[in-house]
């Protein structure tokens, strides 16, 4: 074994930007290409907007303007503006900023002075402009290095700060901002800051009623069991209702930060909500309910303000604070005291809501007891199948693993759900065993639309799948951050994809609503000559590849995942993986959507299929004509070397 030297030469001191660029995951979580809502490019936006929000909370600037064009982001607030003499320090010196003065930013999101510095260091181009008292200061950077430090000059602009940046393409490879994810992020800011006006690419985002608006927009009126309960107090706001849908859905926030992984405040809310309801019905109706039945089908939003919050990482997705403030009451007691008083009072004053609540709890109780008889046997079958049938090829690190390596496990664990042994075999051989797992389906899943959750336990494939994901009791135990449906791009593959989507939307909608479900995109064609190989995902990409090879190429059409060799698969599931997120917008009614596509055949659906099939055929014919006109070579290019 070679001897490794360890001397003074091995000791390095990195400056601020070098450390951020060397370990970006420490500052912005996983990198990604923008196909997931928590990819790093969205954290970059968040870090800048957080500063704008802090200005608004302090009473300065009611409008934030955000524009994203060709991968370049500009964010303008109308707050006080960075003090002109400290502009460079505030965006390029770690542990520098106004938030260390807790009197000025008592309940701010960012307290460690890292946010905008990380954006600066991870951008090909970064510009900060501060406007203050008819003067301005502008500084431009390249990957954290100053390239143009303008002198302080006169200005006609209103006070505030404008930051423009373009993410570093060498770090965020082939990145693309998805407006759906950006809008979701901005709507959260609006809901938590009633009266704030955000202009995103000329679209105005604003809220008058805070979390009440959030739940109103994210739940269908026909699915809600009772009107949304909206409670507010000093440093806390809660909105809650129940709906005719499986699963529990929570939106949690701390000082305006969307804590997607919860934390002490969300745990306290779940516990306190259930105990308050238990005590109400036990005292007033002599009934004792199980906490699981109380929370079943709940959809709730809770926001708290904490002095000097402690998060578990720089990305601030999970609160670790035990107390509301230094030396203050515990988060648990604070939330419990609020709910035990205000929620209890609400139920006493609104007996119709209490009646509807009781009816829903009893319905959940009946279903839970019905399932209980078959649950134990189903769990035993699942354990046996995992051991002997090897349906699950697991990975080493998981989403809920305590080993929180940003580039592995915690933020990047993936499971591929495949449709057969050949496809699963190729992915299994090519995968990263650290963070990628494979689950193999046997045949087509059952169309479970309209069925009760009993089918999840009685149907072997569904039972094994929920156990593989560990979502039987909610997302707290979810083992994979990305659940990827990997089926062939043919009619059967599309049908299987639709059946799996129905399963998740019907019984585990929170998995989809929390942006964990994806569709795996695989190439349709391989175009190559002796020197180069292109994998193409569309007819147009194939055409472009043939042109780049001057018309002389070997073209292979992949009919299924099983036809792609393990050595090739490795190029599709590494950092260049193409995933299409399954997104639900606020206007989407899951029940109506599933009924339309998966219910009994209706004239409306038949008409939809016929009309869209005609459009698809017309587009294919048109596309083929254009390609033939543009390249006569391609017509005979199947095997030309």
Measure Cα distances from 157 to 49, 86, 261, 465 in Å.
Answer: 20, 19, 40, 57
Q: What is the dihedral of CA 91, 92, 93, 98, to 10 degrees?
A: -10
Percent of the chain residues past pLDDT 70, beyond the cut: 84
Tell me the average pLDDT across 49-63: 91
- Calculate the CA 114 to chain-centre distance: 23
> Which domain covers residue 66, as residue numbers?
17-206
Tell me the average pLDDT across 606-613: 66
Domain at 93, CATH number: 3.30.565.10
For residues 463 and 382, the answer to whether their CB atoms sit within 8 Å is yes
Q: Residue 624: which pLDDT band, with cuts at 50, 70 and 90?
A: very low
* pLDDT surpasses 50 at 4: yes
- pLDDT for res 380: 78
- pLDDT for res 640: 35
- pLDDT for res 29: 80
Domain boundary among 206, 222, 242: 206
For residues 57 and 193, the answer to whether their CB atoms sit within 8 Å is yes
Statement to judge: residues 459 and 533 lie in one domain: no
* pLDDT surpasses 60 at 548: yes
- pLDDT for res 110: 52
- Give the span between the Cα atoms of 212 and 270, in whole angstroms: 18
Statement to judge: residues 118 and 239 lie in one domain: no
Strand pairing partners for 140? 127, 148
Statement to judge: residues 393 and 283 lie in one domain: no
Measure Cα distances from 389 to 377, 412, 455, 464 in Å.
Answer: 17, 26, 21, 11
In a domain, 265, yes or no: yes
- Give the span between the Cα atoms of 199 and 206, in whole angstroms: 9
* pLDDT surpasses 50 at 270: yes
Q: Residue 14: which pLDDT band, with cuts at 50, 70 and 90?
A: low
Closest by CA to 470, choosing from 379, 584, 535, is 379
State the pairing for strand pair 298-304/249-254. Answer: parallel
The per-residue pLDDT of the chain, averaged, comes to: 84
Helix (H) or strand (E) holding 203: strand 203-206
Statement to judge: residues 312 and 250 lie in one domain: yes
Tell me the average pLDDT across 101-105: 49
In a domain, 31, yes or no: yes
- Give the span between the Cα atoms of 522 and 486, in whole angstroms: 9
- pLDDT for res 627: 38
- Calculate the CA 408 to chain-centre distance: 17
* pLDDT surpasses 50 at 308: yes
Query: Which is more confident, 572 or 403?
Result: 572
Helix (H) or strand (E) holding 181: helix 179-192
In a domain, 382, yes or no: no
In a domain, 66, yes or no: yes
Statement to judge: residues 29 and 144 lie in one domain: yes
- Give the span between the Cα atoms of 639 and 526, in whole angstroms: 12
Domain at 504, CATH number: 3.40.50.670
In a domain, 446, yes or no: yes
Of the candidate ranges 28-32, 147-151, 363-367, the one whose mean pLDDT is the lowest: 28-32
pLDDT tens by residue, 444-501 = 899 998 888 999 999 989 999 999 999 988 888 899 989 999 988 778 888 899 899 9
- pLDDT for res 31: 83
Measure Cα distances from 569 to 195, 429, 489, 494 in Å.
Answer: 50, 9, 15, 20
Domain boundary among 206, 231, 255: 206
Supply 413's token pair.
């664990």
In a domain, 9, yes or no: no
* pLDDT surpasses 90 at 613: no
For residues 574 and 412, the answer to whether their CB atoms sit within 8 Å is no
The beta-strand segments (E) located in 533-590 are 533-536, 554-557, 579-581
Domain boundary among 301, 331, 366: 366
Query: Which is more confident, 405 or 171?
Result: 171
* pLDDT surpasses 60 at 232: yes
Contacts of residue 280, Cβ cutoff 8 Å, sequence gap at least 6:
343, 344, 347, 348, 354
Domain at 236, CATH number: 3.30.230.10
Q: Residue 555: which pLDDT band, with cuts at 50, 70 and 90?
A: very high
DSSP string computed for 455-512: HHHHSHHHHHHHHHHT-TT-GGG---SEEEEE--SSHHHHHHHHHHHHHHHHH-HHHH
Statement to judge: residues 515 and 426 lie in one domain: yes
- pLDDT for res 95: 57
Statement to judge: residues 397 and 543 lie in one domain: no
Q: Residue 219: which pLDDT band, with cuts at 50, 70 and 90?
A: confident
Percent of the chain residues past pLDDT 90, beyond the cut: 47
Q: Residue 594: which pLDDT band, with cuts at 50, 70 and 90?
A: confident
Helix (H) or strand (E) holding 192: helix 179-192
In a domain, 10, yes or no: no
Tell me the average pLDDT across 286-302: 94
For residues 55 and 80, the answer to whether their CB atoms sit within 8 Å is yes
State the pairing for strand pair 525-528/517-520. Answer: unpaired
Statement to judge: residues 60 and 105 lie in one domain: yes
Supply 445's token pair.
């899943």
- Give the span between the Cα atoms of 43 and 37, in whole angstroms: 9
pLDDT tens by residue, 108-117 = 655 445 789 9
For residues 248 and 295, the answer to whether their CB atoms sit within 8 Å is yes
Count of structural domains, the chain:
4
In a domain, 320, yes or no: yes
- pLDDT for res 36: 84
**Angle at the Cα of 432 from the Cα atoms of 427 and 436, rounded to 5 degrees:** 70
For residues 446 and 499, the answer to whether their CB atoms sit within 8 Å is yes
- Give the span between the Cα atoms of 453 and 616, in whole angstroms: 36
Ramachandran quadrant class, 563 (left: phi over 0; alpha: psi -120 to 50; beta: rest)? alpha
- pLDDT for res 237: 96
Q: At 123, phi and psi to the nearest 5?
A: -120, 140
- Give the span between the Cα atoms of 249 and 511, in whole angstroms: 9
**Angle at the Cα of 31 from the Cα atoms of 57 and 568, rounded to 5 degrees:** 155
Statement to judge: residues 198 and 272 lie in one domain: no
* pLDDT surpasses 60 at 599: yes
Ramachandran quadrant class, 548 (left: phi over 0; alpha: psi -120 to 50; beta: rest)? alpha
Statement to judge: residues 186 and 62 lie in one domain: yes
Residues belonging to the chain:
641
The beta-strand segments (E) located in 16-132 are 63-69, 72-77, 123-132
Statement to judge: residues 506 and 585 lie in one domain: yes
Statement to judge: residues 532 and 581 lie in one domain: no
- pLDDT for res 516: 92
User: Global pTM?
Assistant: 0.81
Helix (H) or strand (E) holding 623: helix 603-630
- pLDDT for res 274: 97
- Give the span between the Cα atoms of 567 and 606, in whole angstroms: 42
């Amino acid at each position: 074994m070679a001897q490794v030297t360890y001397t003074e030469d091995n000791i390095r001191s990195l400056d601020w930007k070098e450390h951020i660029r060397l370990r970006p995951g420490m500052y912005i979580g996983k990198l990604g290409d923008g196909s997931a809502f928590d990819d790093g490019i969205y954290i970059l936006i968040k870090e800048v907007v957080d500063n704008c929000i802090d200005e608004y909370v302090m009473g300065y600037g009611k409008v934030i303007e955000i524009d994203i064009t060709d991968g370049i982001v500009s964010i303008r607030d109308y707050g006080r503006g960075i003090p002109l003499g400290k502009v460079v320090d505030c965006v390029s010196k770690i542990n520098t900023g106004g938030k260390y003065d807790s009197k000025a930013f008592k309940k701010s999101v960012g307290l460690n002075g890292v946010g905008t510095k990380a954006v600066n260091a991870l951008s090909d181009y970064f510009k900060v402009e501060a406007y203050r008292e008819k003067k301005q200061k502008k500084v431009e950077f390249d990957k954290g290095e100053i390239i143009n430090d303008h002198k302080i000059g006169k200005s006609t602009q209103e006070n505030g700060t404008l930051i423009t940046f373009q993410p570093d393409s060498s770090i965020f490879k082939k990145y693309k901002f998805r407006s759906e994810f950006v809008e979701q992020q901005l709507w959260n800011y609006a809901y938590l800051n009633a009266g704030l006006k955000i202009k995103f690419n000329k679209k105005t985002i604003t809220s008058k009623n805070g979390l009440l608006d959030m739940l109103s927009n994210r739940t269908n009126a026909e699915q809600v069991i009772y009107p949304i309960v909206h409670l507010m107090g000093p440093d806390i706001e809660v909105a809650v209702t129940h709906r005719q849908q499986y699963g529990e859905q929570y939106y949690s926030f701390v000082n305006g930060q969307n804590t997607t992984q919860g934390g002490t405040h969300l745990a306290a809310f779940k516990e306190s909500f259930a105990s308050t309801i238990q005590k109400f019905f036990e005292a007033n109706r002599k009934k004792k309910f199980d906490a699981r039945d109380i929370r079943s089908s709940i959809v709730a939003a809770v926001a708290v303000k904490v002095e000097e919050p402690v998060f578990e990482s720089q990305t601030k997705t999970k609160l670790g604070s035990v107390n509301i403030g230094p030396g203050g009451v515990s988060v648990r007691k604070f939330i419990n005291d609020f709910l035990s008083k205000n929620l209890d009072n609400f139920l006493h004053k609104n007996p119709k809501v209490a009646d509807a609540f009781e009816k829903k709890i009893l319905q959940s109780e009946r279903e839970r007891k019905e399932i209980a008889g078959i649950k134990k046997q189903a769990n035993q079958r699942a354990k046996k199948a995992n051991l002997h049938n090897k349906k699950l090829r697991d990975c080493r690190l998981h989403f809920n693993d305590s080993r929180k390596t940003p580039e592995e496990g915690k933020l990047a664990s993936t499971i591929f759900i495949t449709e057969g042994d050949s496809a699963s075999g190729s992915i299994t051989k090519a995968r990263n065993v650290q963070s990628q797992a494979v689950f193999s389906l046997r045949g087509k899943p059952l169309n479970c639309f309209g069925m009760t959750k009993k089918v999840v336990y009685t149907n072997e494939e569904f039972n094994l799948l929920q156990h593989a994901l560990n979502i039987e009791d909610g997302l707290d135990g979810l083992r994979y951050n990305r659940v990827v449906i990997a089926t062939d791009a043919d009619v059967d593959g599309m049908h299987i994809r639709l059946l799996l989507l129905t399963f998740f939307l019907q019984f585990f909608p929170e998995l989809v609503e929390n942006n964990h479900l994806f569709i795996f995109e695989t190439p349709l064609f391989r175009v190559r000559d002796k020197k180069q190989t292109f994998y193409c995902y569309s007819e147009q990409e194939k055409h472009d590849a043939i042109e780049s090879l001057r018309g002389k190429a070997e073209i292979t059409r992949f009919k299924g995942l099983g036809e792609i060799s393990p050595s090739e698969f490795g190029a599709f599931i590494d950092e260049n993986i193409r995933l299409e997120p399954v997104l639900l917008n606020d206007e989407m009614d899951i029940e109506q959507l599933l009924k339309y596509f998966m219910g009994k055949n209706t004239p409306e659906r038949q008409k939809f299929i016929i009309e869209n099939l005609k459009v698809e055929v017309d587009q294919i014919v048109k596309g083929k004509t254009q390609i033939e006109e543009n390249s006569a070579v391609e017509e005979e290019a199947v095997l030309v070397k």
